[in-house]
Amino acid sequence: MTEKVKQLLSDKAWARWAVLVLVALMMFFAYMFVDLMSPLQELIQNQRGWSPDAFGYYAGAEYILNVFGFLVVAGIILDKMGVRFTGVLSGSLMLVGACIKLYAVSDMFVGSGLDTWLSSWWVELPGSAKLAAFGFMIFGCGCEMAGITVSKTLAKWFDGHEMALAMGLEMALARVGVFAIFSISPRLAAWNGADQQTVVIPVAFCTALLLIGLICYIVFTFFDAKLDKQTGAAASEGASEEEFKFSDVGIILRSKLFWVIALLCVLYYSAIFPFQRYATNMLQCVLGMDATSAADIFRWFPIGAAALTPFLGFYLDKYGKGATMLMYGAILMILCHLTFALLLPLYPSKLLAYAAIVILGISFSLVPASLWPSVPRVMDKRYLGSAYSLIFWVQNVGLCLVPIIIGKVIKWSNPGIEDPMQYNYTSPMLVFASFGVLALFFGVYLKYLNKKNNYGLEDPGIRK
């Protein structure tokens, strides 16, 4: 007589989709906070004296501690302590960092003793920029920790179910956050009128949203505790059948498969996120338009990606072909950057620019939708958090270095040109395309390894 299998909370559709909403909201608000200052660069320069260099140092501060090892520590914490503890910790770090940044840009900070002391050294950087960068650095630690925690959470709750679709929806919502903040941040800054604009209101608004995101995650922990009670998980909630050991980090780093996935990830994302920093100016130079018009073209990129990613996740769950999708995504990205480098300068058309942006959005749907659900298939569950964190760490190294490289390429390829409206972007776009070529190479190699060793990367995600 066959014993009746007990239905877990994660087997109930309403429960796992409720979990998705709760954890995705925290990431949605986090992505809003990441880019809330991007449309306000001119305003913060006028109000607080931040030069472009100061703004650059502030923007780069998000990744500093992650590059120097915090992400590795975060992965170990996740595997040792579990998704409940780590998620609440990451949400708290984001909130603390946001509060520091809010104080740094507020009128209360201006002229204070702390402002005077911070402004007395490294005088090129105002005291408010230094403190805001410190707060953003703490926020960045929490944000990246939250990213790997949410990935492991969804892998846990959607195991055997719609994992790729769930991860796709979570990524889609996060990208909608980028579009949303570009739309509302300038309007919040002008809440009291065009002549009384302030960066304080948008920063305070997004800080409040981070608090709501933390509360959402705390609500999720009650669901997760009940699931662990059903499965008889150990008191150390992150423990699996064999508990994580620090030596597992060495096992991950010695894995050829890990490095193939990590290098594919860093090469692909290095041609996406750093490109976002330069896309507006590139379109200005090539099409001869103002910044607002150029931004209005590019801002639809995350929306296109957000719209397609859930459908691609659904396809992966039903039919598979994850490794193939990675290759197609890299090919489309190469075509887009070659269009920006070679075709658009010859035929400066808004229609062509929109077409390339849409195709790039499709590429940005194919790769993340298939990349992140592939990791749980090839990594042991006991060190899944560390695997995610190490992949994110490699990615963060690229995201730190590539903008510096592109800046030097722009300067090298435009000798003597000071007007940013006159830059030639052919060489930088070719550099981005070369990243796509290398990513395609690793995608082909990953598909070869999958066929040789049967990792299941081409198989459907939903078990029948």
287 and 156 co-located in one domain: no
Question: Does 213 have pLDDT greater than 90?
Answer: yes
153 and 256 both lie in a single domain:
no
Residue 256 Cα to chain centre, angstroms? 24
Q: Does the residue 4 lie in any domain?
A: no
The HSE-up count of residue 396 (CA atoms within 13 Å, CB side) is: 27
Quick check: 5 pLDDT over 90? no
In terms of domains, do 210 and 256 share one? no
Q: What is the dihedral of CA 317, 323, 326, 332, to 10 degrees?
A: -100
**Is it the case that residue 219 has pLDDT exceeding 80?**
yes
Asked if residue 344 belongs to a domain, the reply is yes
C-alpha torsion sign, points 209, 210, 215, 220: positive
pLDDT confidence tier of residue 323, bands split at 50, 70 and 90: confident
221 and 249 assigned to the same domain? no
Q: What is the C-alpha end-to-end distance of the chain, expressed in Å? A: 22
Residue 429 lies in a domain: yes
Q: Whats the size of the chain, residue-wise?
A: 464
Residues 224, 248 share a domain: no
Residue 39 lies in a domain: yes
pLDDT for the residue numbered 99: 95
Count of Cβ atoms closer than 10 Å to residue 396 Cβ: 23
Q: In this structure, is residue 2 part of a structural domain?
A: no
Residue 290 above 90 pLDDT? no
140 in any annotated domain = yes
Assess whether 209 and 287 both reside in one domain.
no
Query: What amino acid is encoded at 200 in this protein?
Result: V
Choosing from 230, 262, 295, the residue where a domain stops is: 230
323 with 301, same domain: the answer is: yes
Closest C-alpha to 357, from 194, 365, 328: 365
Domain co-membership, 157 together with 262 = no
Per residue in 91-114, pLDDT tens? 999 999 999 999 998 888 887 878
d(CA 170, CA 229): 26
Residue with tokens 């042991």: 380
Cβ contact 271:399 at 8 Å: no
406 and 294 share one domain:
yes
Cα separation, 305 vs 289, in Å, equals 25
Residue 64: how many other CB atoms lie within 10 Å: 18
Tell which of 168, 197, 230 closes a domain: 230
Q: Which of 179-188, 349-358, 365-374, 393-402 has the lowest mean pLDDT?
A: 365-374
Higher-confidence position of 279 and 269? 269
Same domain for 247 and 112: no
Task: Please tell me whether residues 53 and 188 are part of one structural domain.
Answer: yes
Q: Residue 386 sits in which domain range?
A: 243-454
pLDDT at 291 over 70: no
Give the pLDDT of residue 351.
92
Ramachandran sector of residue 354 (left: φ over 0; alpha: ψ -120 to 50; beta: rest): alpha
Look at residue 237 and tell me if it is in a domain: no
User: In the predicted model, what is the mean pLDDT of the chain?
Assistant: 81
Given a contact cutoff of 8 angstroms between Cβ atoms, the answer to whether 400 and 63 are in contact is yes
pLDDT in tens, 345-391: 999 899 999 999 888 888 887 877 677 677 777 777 667 767 777 88
What is the rounded CA–CA span in Å between residue 221 and residue 87?
Answer: 9
Q: Which of 181, 204, 230 is the last residue of a domain?
A: 230
Q: What is the pLDDT of residues 43-82, one digit of tens each?
A: 777 787 776 567 667 777 777 788 887 877 887 788 788 8
Q: How confident is the model at residue 240 (pLDDT cuts 50, 70, 90)?
A: very low
Contact 305, 175 (CB under 8 A): yes
Q: Are residues 335 and 217 in the same domain?
A: no
Q: How many separate domains does the chain show? A: 2
The 10 Å Cβ neighbour count of residue 200 is 18
Say if 90 falls within a structural domain: yes
Q: How far apart are CA 88 and CA 449, in angstroms?
A: 37
pLDDT for residue 236: 43
Burial class (CB in 10 A: 0-12, 13-18, 19+), 124: exposed
- Residue 238 — very low, low, confident or very high, per pLDDT cuts 50/70/90? very low
CATH number at residue 159: 1.20.1250.20
Query: In percent, how much of the chain has pLDDT > 90?
Result: 20
Q: If pLDDT is split at 50, 70 and 90, which confidence band does 245 have?
A: low
The winner for highest mean pLDDT among 34-38, 62-66, 156-160, 326-330 is 326-330
Q: Where are the beta strands (DSSP E) in 249-371?
A: none
Q: Residue 215: in which H helix or E strand, if any? A: helix 200-231
Q: Is 267 helix (H, G, I), strand (E, B) or coil?
A: helix
Nearest to 239 by CA among 373, 384, 72: 384
pTM over 0.75: no
Tokens of 15: 């429960």
Position of tokens 């796709």?
168
Q: For residue 44, what are its two tokens?
A: 């913060």
Top mean-pLDDT range of 7-16, 139-148, 283-292, 412-421: 139-148
pLDDT over 80 (residue 344): yes
